[in-house]
Structures are given as structure tokens and as C-alpha cells.
């Protein structure tokens, strides 16, 4: 482990002058990691309360370290309680100390108890080479919500260093799978992106598929077989109220919210034909967007809401297409061999993630919006259901183990190896929310 | 109604070997006559035996009915025309390698294709429903005609 930490600064030092402060474009296959120091946070409080706050600050520091360690772009130095600093040093850190340890970025901060019993977190991010503050932010949270404050500090650091939105204060919805082969019980599950606050939203008495979170993670659209045929339903997470997306009994599926949360795409059967429709998230009549004979499905909005990527087998095999949000200007963007399916537009608008089916099975890949720079990120043979992280630098996808039970994996665009997420049981159909702030 | 039941019981008994292959629910092995075999199970067994099977199979990403499928469906249609009181649901399935959303659509399309073919062969449309299981049950791409009532 120590060897790793020592090696990475060298690689980082050899990289171009685009140091920590500079937003780096996510380029597949190009690893770029910035070493970041996270010494234990401090407190202005004194006496017994000061000790309490220091304990909370240490807890927060460890959460921030764990958050940043999950990423491909940042490599945190292990926090050491010997590196404790005083309150004034929060805004006047010893840059030379951290530069000597190989770090190029630094997080400092403090925790202070307010008179109302809540906690103030101060979070500061520095570029060590330039001896310059990159970002600072204060958060006020309930005394039992240290985790959220720490995630927000991690997000601040990640965004300041990489220029991309962070994934730490986000939710993941997926389908929890229990039971035995041939008799699988599926439930919609929801958790924070670090695996905390795990809960089940459906009872398991009905087959459910493909949960899709609204951008602010307050609603979930999903597919339910409660009426016999698959139909899109909605869950309001604040009230736990459930409702059908459209009033008819027609087979519908593949729901997905627009980035502003105001519209929902879905697919609906009409005879042997499957087309993509859009409906206002608040209700109202659905508008049909595709009419070509064949199966058009898997629609996903561009972040500006003006375009939609989708899959269609109108050419004979499933391929990816882009159209305007009103259904006009449909054009094919995938031209390789095999099948292209399950597209999702990245939050930064640059990439389309997809599942590719070829002789080796199913793999996850990405391509630019015009179909260029296509590359496969995973090795298969049964990978599927890619969902973007808010950072647009990572994907979540499903992959079965040797016994065929699916798990959830994260993979960076930088070509690093997939990492399995810890969930209480097998899971499939992951969906990662945007940054919820 | 009772008369029909007796006739059906007789029919099932006569069709002995075929019925055995179909793994009919065992009648009264523990306690004779209770519970009685539901009428729907008897009908299902007869339907399966006399139509050469409840299931037709498809090629990858195809909903085209091949000659073997058409033979099975012709026999299904003949039986359904003789039993206008019976309602069936055609359940379409995708291949395990299909992607999730496409699987739901291809299953629905296969079910629709079978339903349309049965209607073409004279089965009243109101007698046949259709649905899809996508890739949510193990097995190859297929459509199964299930007696509902």
C-alpha cells in the first residue's frame, strides 16, 4: 500500500502542468490521479465540548477519506491523528509539509457546535503547488447527520480538484434479488451511494424492474407486473404514494426522467410495434415520438433536454439513434458489428454509455454523442444496465457472479478495473441519481 | 357443468399415456377425491395433449412463426374454437441474452404474433389475451398459450 502511495506522486509529477486545480476532461483509457491530503479536522470549541467536536471531526475526516478513495481521480493520503492542526491553521495550512508528503491538494476543516445543538462544518480545499485556496464551504447539519456533511465536503473537494460534479451525496436505486433460481423475488431498493440508508420500496409480491430516480431523487419510476403486464409506475419517496404513469392498461416500460425532472420518457407497445413516448412528470397526455416499425425503446434525454438517445431494431439489429426531443431528426449513431442497446446520456452531455452484444457476450461501452470514439470498458460476458455517475467519469452496471447471481459494479472511464459495491443481497438494474444538492 | 366435468375426466383417463407425460397433477394420491382436480387443470391437460403443446419457439430477435410453430398453433386454434368458453393468455418470452427493455418488447411482440395467428385461424379475439415476461423467466425465446379460465 505504501509503495502505491509513493508511486502515484511520481506519475502525477510526470503529467503535464495541468495540476490539481485544473479541471481535467474525462478521457477513457487515460489514468489521472491527484494525491490529496486530509489531515484530521479541528474545532474552535474547547473543554469537554471541544473533545466531543474533535471526535466528530475525526469521524468526518475518515468518511471524507473513504469517499475520495472510491474515486479514480483522487488518491487520499491516510489521515493520521498526529497531523492535527489548530483552528487558525484551517485557513493557513502548512503547504510545505504536505508537498513533502507528495500531496498536490489538501482538505482542511472544522466542526463547531451551534447554540441550537446543530453542527457547523467548515470545509476548505487547497492547491498545494500554487499555495492557493480552491474552494470553501460551510454546512449546517443536525448532530446526527455528520455523514451527510462529510459527503458534502468530499463533493466540494472532488469538484474543486477535478472540475466535475461529485457522486458522494447521491442515491442509488436498484432491483434487489432474493429467492432461488426460477423463483427470484425482486424488490425495488434504494440506498445512499456509499451503501448507507438501505431500504426496500416494494414488498416482493410483484415482479418489478428498472427503477429510475428523478434527478433530485424524490421520485422513482419503475416497471411493475402488478396488473399482469408490465407497466410504468411511480413512487413518491416523501409520501411513499404509488401511482400508474399512464391510465391505460397497455404494456409500458423503460421509464427515464429528463434532467430537469419535468418529463418522463417511456416505451409502449401497440400491436407488434414498440415506440417511445414522452409525458409530463406531473401527468397529462402522452406524446408519441417514434413511429418506425420495430422496437424503439431505452430512451434517455440529453442533459439539456433537447435530444434523446434510444435503441431501435429498425435496421434489423438493435442500434443506437439520436433524435430531437419532439421526435424529429432521427439519425443512427452506432455502426459497429453486433447489437447496441440500453443507452444512457452522460450528465456532462459528452458521452453515451451502452450495452454491446457480440460474440463474447454483453459488455459495457461508451461513445461520443456523434458515434465517434467508441470503446468497450468491461470484459463481459454478461454485463448490462450501465448508469452514469453524477461526475460523468464513472458508470454503475450489473454483472453476475459464477453462480449467475447479479451484483453491482462501478467502473471509471479511465480504464481502471471494476469494483463491486457491497449490497445486502444480489442486485440488478442499477440507477444512479444526479448530485442531489 | 357437472356433465362436462365427467366427460373431461373420462377424456383425461382415455388419454392416459399422453397425460402421464404431461405430468398431470396427481389425483387423490393421499385422500381420494379431495381436493378435486380443478376444472381448469383438466382443461389445461387436454389442451396441451390435443394441440401438440402449449409452447412455440422463435429464433433470436425474431417473432416469425416457423412451420413447427404454425402446426402447433393450428391445433391450438382448433381446440379453442371447440371451447369458446375458455379464455387464454399468450405469454411471450425473450432470450436470456437480450437486454432488459428490448426483452419486454420482443416478448410482447411474440405474444402478439401468436395471438394474431390464432385470430386468423378463427379464434374470437375476445378469447385471447397477450402479455410479456421479457427475460424474467429462464428458458429460450418462446410464446406459451396459458388457459386462464
Q: From first to last of its 437 residues, what are the pLDDT tens digits of chain A?
A: 333 333 333 333 333 333 333 334 444 444 568 999 999 999 999 999 999 999 999 999 999 999 999 887 899 999 999 999 999 999 999 999 999 999 999 999 999 999 999 999 999 999 999 999 999 999 999 998 899 899 999 999 999 999 988 888 899 999 999 998 778 999 999 999 888 899 999 999 999 999 999 988 899 999 999 998 999 999 999 998 999 999 888 999 999 999 999 999 999 999 889 999 999 998 889 999 999 999 999 999 999 999 999 999 999 999 999 999 999 999 999 999 999 999 999 999 999 999 999 999 999 999 999 999 999 999 989 999 999 999 898 999 999 998 889 999 999 998 788 999 999 999 999 999 887 65
Residue B8: band (very low, low, confident or very high) from pLDDT cuts 50, 70, 90: very low
Could B102 and A357 be called an inter-chain contact, meaning their C-beta atoms sit closer than 8 Å?
no
ipTM passes above 0.85: no
Q: Beta strands B55-57 and A427-432: pairing type?
A: unpaired
Domain positions in chain B = 51-147
Listing from the earlier edge strand, what are the strands of the sheet with A375-376? Answer: A339-345, A351-358, A361-368, A375-376
Could A385 and B100 be called an inter-chain contact, meaning their C-beta atoms sit closer than 8 Å?
yes
pLDDT at B133 over 90: yes
Q: Which residues of A touch B88 (CB under 8 A)?
A: none
Select from A230, A317, A361 the Cβ nearest to the Cβ of B132.
A230
Give the pLDDT confidence score for residue A402 in this predicted structure: 86
Using CA coordinates, name the residue in chain B closest to A360: B97
Residue A233: strand pairing partners: A222, A244
**All residues at 6 or more sequence positions from A306 whose CB lies less than 8 Å from its CB, including other chains:** A324, A325
Give the pLDDT confidence score for residue A349 in this predicted structure: 97
Spatial distance between the Cα atoms of A430 and A70, rounded to a whole number of angstroms = 18
Give the pLDDT confidence score for residue A3 in this predicted structure: 35
Spatial distance between the Cα atoms of B113 and B70, rounded to a whole number of angstroms = 11
Domain positions in chain A = 2-162, 171-432
Using CA coordinates, name the residue in chain A closest to B137: A182
Could A254 and B63 be called an inter-chain contact, meaning their C-beta atoms sit closer than 8 Å?
no
Q: Looking at the complex, does the CB of residue A361 fall below 8 Å from at least one CB of chain B?
A: yes
Could B105 and A317 be called an inter-chain contact, meaning their C-beta atoms sit closer than 8 Å?
no
> Phi, psi at residue B18, to the nearest 5°?
-60, -40
Spatial distance between the Cα atoms of A209 and A231, rounded to a whole number of angstroms = 10
Q: Which residues of A touch B131 (CB under 8 A)?
A: 228-229, 251
The three cell numbers locating residue A5:
502511495
**All residues at 6 or more sequence positions from A410 whose CB lies less than 8 Å from its CB, including other chains:** A70, A389, A394, A395, A396, A418, A419, A421
Give the pLDDT confidence score for residue B102 in this predicted structure: 97
A2-162 CATH fold: Rossmann fold (3.40.50)
| ∠ Cα A262 A268 A270 (to 5°) | 145
Could B113 and A342 be called an inter-chain contact, meaning their C-beta atoms sit closer than 8 Å?
no
What separation in angstroms does the CA of A104 have from each of A4, A22, A39, A285? 16, 12, 14, 54
Give the pLDDT confidence score for residue A21 in this predicted structure: 36
Spatial distance between the Cα atoms of A166 and A170, rounded to a whole number of angstroms = 9
Q: Taking Cα atoms as reference points, which of A230, A181, A182 lies closest to residue A208?
A: A230
Report the share of chain A in percent with pLDDT over 70. Answer: 92
Q: Looking at the complex, does the CB of residue A384 fall below 8 Å from at least one CB of chain B?
A: yes
Give the pLDDT confidence score for residue A59 in this predicted structure: 96
- pTM score, two decimals? 0.82
Select from A182, A295, A385 the Cβ nearest to the Cβ of B105.
A295
Give the pLDDT confidence score for residue B26 in this predicted structure: 53
CB A344 within 8 A of CB B79: no
Q: Give A295 to chain B, closest Cα distance, Å.
A: 7
Residue B39: band (very low, low, confident or very high) from pLDDT cuts 50, 70, 90: confident
Spatial distance between the Cα atoms of A355 and A429, rounded to a whole number of angstroms = 12
Only one residue has cell 412455440, namely B56
pLDDT at B24 over 80: no
Q: Which CATH class is domain A171-432?
A: mainly beta
Could A251 and B113 be called an inter-chain contact, meaning their C-beta atoms sit closer than 8 Å?
no
Give the pLDDT confidence score for residue A29 in this predicted structure: 46
Using CA coordinates, name the residue in chain A closest to B96: A382
What separation in angstroms does the CA of A50 have from each of A1, A102, A149, A268? 33, 31, 18, 60
Give the burial string for A79-105 (b: 16+ CB within 10 Å, else e): beeebebeeeebeebebeebbeebbbb
Residue B19: band (very low, low, confident or very high) from pLDDT cuts 50, 70, 90: very low
Q: Looking at the complex, does the CB of residue B138 fall below 8 Å from at least one CB of chain A?
A: yes
Residue A192: strand pairing partners: A171
Give the tens place of pLDDT for each residue, B52-71. Answer: 889 999 998 899 999 999 99
Q: Taking Cα atoms as reference points, which of A209, A206, A214, A212 lies closest to residue A173?
A: A212
Select from B105, B112, B113 the Cβ nearest to the Cβ of A297.
B105
Using CA coordinates, name the residue in chain A closest to B116: A271
**All residues at 6 or more sequence positions from B22 whose CB lies less than 8 Å from its CB, including other chains:** B45, B48, B49
B51-147 CATH fold: 60s Ribosomal Protein L30; Chain: A; (3.30.1330)
- Work out the burial of residue B124: count CB atoms within 10 Å of its CB; fewer than 13 is exposed, 13-18 middle, 19 or more buried: exposed
Amino acid at each position: 500500500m505504501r509503495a502505491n502511495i509513493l508511486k502515484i506522486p511520481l506519475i502525477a509529477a510526470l503529467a503535464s502542468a495541468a495540476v490539481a486545480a485544473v479541471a481535467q476532461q474525462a478521457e477513457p483509457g487515460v489514468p489521472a490521479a491527484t494525491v490529496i491530503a486530509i489531515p484530521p479536522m479541528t474545532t474552535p470549541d474547547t473543554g469537554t465540548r471541544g473533545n466531543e467536536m474533535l471526535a466528530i471531526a475525526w469521524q468526518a475526516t475518515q468518511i471524507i477519506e473513504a469517499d475520495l478513495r472510491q474515486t479514480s481521480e483522487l488518491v487520499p493520503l491516510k489521515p493520521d491523528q498526529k497531523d492535527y492542526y489548530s483552528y487558525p491553521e484551517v485557513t493557513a495550512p502548512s503547504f510545505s509539509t504536505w508537498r513533502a508528503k507528495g500531496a498536490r491538494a489538501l482538505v482542511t476543516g472544522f466542526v463547531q457546535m451551534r447554540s441550537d445543538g446543530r453542527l457547523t462544518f467548515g470545509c476548505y480545499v487547497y492547491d498545494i503547488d500554487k499555495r492557493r485556496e480552491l474552494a470553501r464551504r460551510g454546512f449546517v447539519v443536525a448532530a446526527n447527520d455528520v455523514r451527510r456533511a462529510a459527503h458534502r465536503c468530499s463533493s466540494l473537494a472532488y469538484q474543486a480538484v477535478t472540475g466535475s460534479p461529485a457522486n458522494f451525496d447521491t442515491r442509488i436505486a436498484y432491483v434487489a434479488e432474493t429467492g432461488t433460481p426460477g423463483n427470484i423475488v425482486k424488490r425495488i431498493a434504494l440506498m445512499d451511494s456509499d451503501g448507507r440508508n438501505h431500504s426496500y420500496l416494494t414488498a416482493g409480491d410483484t415482479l418489478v424492474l428498472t427503477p429510475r430516480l428523478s434527478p433530485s431523487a424524490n421520485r422513482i419510476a419503475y416497471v411493475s407486473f402488478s396488473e399482469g403486464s408490465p407497466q410504468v409506475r411511480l413512487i413518491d419517496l416523501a409520501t411513499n404514494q404509488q401511482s400508474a404513469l399512464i391510465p391505460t392498461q397497455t404494456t409500458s416500460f423503460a421509464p427515464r426522467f429528463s434532467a430537469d425532472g419535468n418529463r418522463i420518457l417511456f416505451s409502449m407497445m401497440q400491436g407488434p410495434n414498440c415506440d417511445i413516448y414522452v409525458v409530463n412528470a406531473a401527468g397529462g397526455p402522452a406524446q408519441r415520438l417514434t413511429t418506425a416499425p420495430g422496437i424503439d425503446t431505452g430512451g434517455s434525454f440529453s442533459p439539456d433536454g433537447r435530444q434523446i438517445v434510444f435503441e431501435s431494431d429498425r435496421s434489423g439489429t438493435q442500434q443506437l439513434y439520436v433524435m430531437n426531443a419532439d421526435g424529429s431528426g432521427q439519425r443512427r449513431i452506432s455502426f459497429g458489428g453486433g447489437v447496441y442497446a440500453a443507452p444512457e446520456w452522460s450528465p456532462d452531455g459528452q458521452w453515451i454509455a451502452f450495452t454491446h452484444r457480440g460474440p463474447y457476450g454483453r459488455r459495457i461501452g461508451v461513445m461520443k454523442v456523434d458515434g465517434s470514439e467508441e470503446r468497450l470498458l468491461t470484459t463481459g460476458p454478461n454485463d448490462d444496465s450501465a448508469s452514469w455517475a453524477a461526475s460523468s467519469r464513472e458508470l454503475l452496471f450489473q454483472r453476475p457472479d459464477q453462480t449467475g447471481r447479479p451484483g453491482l459494479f462501478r467502473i471509471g472511464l479511465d480504464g481502471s478495473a471494476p469494483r463491486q459495491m457491497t449490497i445486502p443481497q444480489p442486485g440488478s438494474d442499477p440507477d444512479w441519481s444526479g448530485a442531489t444538492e | 357443468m357437472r356433465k362436462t366435468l365427467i366427460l373431461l375426466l373420462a377424456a383425461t383417463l382415455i388419454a392416459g399415456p399422453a397425460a402421464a407425460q404431461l405430468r398431470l397433477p396427481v389425483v387423490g394420491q393421499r385422500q381420494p377425491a379431495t381436493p378435486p382436480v380443478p376444472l381448469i387443470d383438466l382443461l389445461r391437460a387436454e389442451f396441451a395433449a390435443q394441440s401438440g403443446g402449449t409452447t412455440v419457439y422463435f429464433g433470436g430477435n425474431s417473432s416469425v412463426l416457423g412451420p413447427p410453430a404454425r402446426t402447433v398453433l393450428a391445433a391450438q386454434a382448433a381446440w379453442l374454437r371447440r371451447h369458446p368458453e375458455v379464455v387464454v393468455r399468450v405469454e411471450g418470452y425473450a432470450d436470456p441474452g437480450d437486454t432488459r427493455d428490448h426483452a419486454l418488447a420482443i416478448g410482447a411482440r411474440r405474444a402478439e404474433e401468436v395471438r394474431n395467428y390464432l385470430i386468423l385461424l378463427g379464434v374470437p379475439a375476445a378469447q385471447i389475451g397477450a402479455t410479456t415476461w421479457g427475460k424474467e423467466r429462464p428458458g429460450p425465446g418462446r410464446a406459451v398459450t396459458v388457459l386462464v379460465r
